[in-house]
Structure 1
Amino acid sequence: MFIQTETTPNPATLKFLPGRAVLPGDTLDMRSAEDAEISPLASALFAVDGVSGVFYGADFIAVTKDEQVDWQFIKPAILGSIMEHFMSGGPLLAGEHEEQVGDEEFFDESDTQTVETIKELLETRVRPAVAHDGGDIAFRGFKDGIVYLHMRGACAGCPSSTATLKNGIQNLLRHFLPDVEEVRPV
């Protein structure tokens, strides 16, 4: 088994591509060893000293490290854990995982059409681009012209995420929806 790695715009996150499906059709962001208890692979990755986050995408695993740790010291252990997991044929998740706390959407019913358009633009134009960089973005709410988005994976804590939100996503949404005044992270 050969696992490719890719850098992401976030220097603290590397994207690992095992060459097979990881979590098709869904994403899962785990920011602590407690969050990772639902996944044997994530638990093994958090056991590597210096790992501070694990994110599953459709065909990749994004691993975030502590700032004080160098990739050269932990990358071999991460690769070993990923390879061991996929070679064992074990399940990715120990059981059905619950929707993460705070994932409830909020918006006024009169804005339903605007929210549907925002979600469609995010799904077709934004999510594929951020997934390429090892992350994900999810709609959380719309109120008083402000779109609230949740950044996950490599996007969470990325130095360029503010630029992505303001210069990319905000401009895209404003172009198609005059009701949108601003985009903010949650």
Structure 2
Amino acid sequence: MYIMNYSIYAESTPNPEVMKFVANRMIADQSIEITTLKEAKGISIAEELLKFPFVESIYLSANFISISKTGTIQWEDIAMQLRNFIADHLNSNGIRNYTENISLDKTSVVNDPKHEKIIANEFTDHEKEIEALLNEYIAPAVESDGGAITLNYYKDNIVCVDLKGACSGCPSSTSTLKGGIEALLKRKVNPDIEVIANEK
């Protein structure tokens, strides 16, 4: 039986320090941001990528890997090397789900209907409403840019969100937070809402 190999292409993101490497098939059923080898344990592609001295963090989701690099090197010097490495690694390991053995406490679940119950149990009614709006209106756009924005909490008219992947440290994230998310939530939920980013 013929099995199609993984092919990878690189795509720039609004964050100049992050490149999105897209596969032609799914590689993960959960979304996870990884910044250390300890966090990468059990996820072979992440363990190997973090060994490159210029890789700072990895955001793994669905059919792509967003890689954040150190500021001292240019993408033109490393993008092809990373693209080839990812393709070779995926093809040498066969078709698999790279996040199947990780626990949910390590992940940031984004737009995954299997985990709606888990999210719903943790959030208040207002937070559930905000999370649903983020998933419907914001998540598809930021995921296409190699990132994710998820709700952390809502309290006293403050909506705190987590920025992951290409969104973390992105120069345009402030305009996304204020012009996109805050404007949406002011219209749909409460005109007094203010959106802030979680400072990790």
TM-score range, shorter chain: 0.7 to 0.9
Out of 93, 96, 99, the position equivalent to 2:105 is 99
- TM alignment of 1:19-98, pairs within 5 A: 19-24=24-29, 26-89=30-93, 91=96, 92-93=98-99, 95-98=101-104
Q: Deviations over 1:13-61 (max 9, x none)?
A: 011111110213x211012233222311011111122010111111111
What percent of counterpart residues are identical?
A: 31
Q: What's the TM-score once normalised by structure 1's chain length?
A: 0.87
| 2:19 and 2:66 in contact (8 A); partners too | yes
Q: Distance in 1 between matches of 2:100 and 2:108?
A: 22
| 2:66 and 2:147 in contact (8 A); partners too | yes
- TM alignment of 1:122-161, pairs within 5 A: 122-161=134-173
Uncovered stretches (5+) of structure 2, i.e. residues with no partner? 1-5, 110-118
Residue-pair matches, total: 181
| 1:53 and 1:63 in contact (8 A); partners too | yes
Structure 1 counterpart SS, 2:106: coil
- 2:179 aligns with 167
Structure 2 counterpart SS, 1:84: helix
State the AA in 1 paired with 2:46.
A
Q: Distance in 1 between matches of 2:145 and 2:52?
A: 23
| 2:33 and 2:108 in contact (8 A); partners too | no
Structure 2 counterpart SS, 1:130: helix
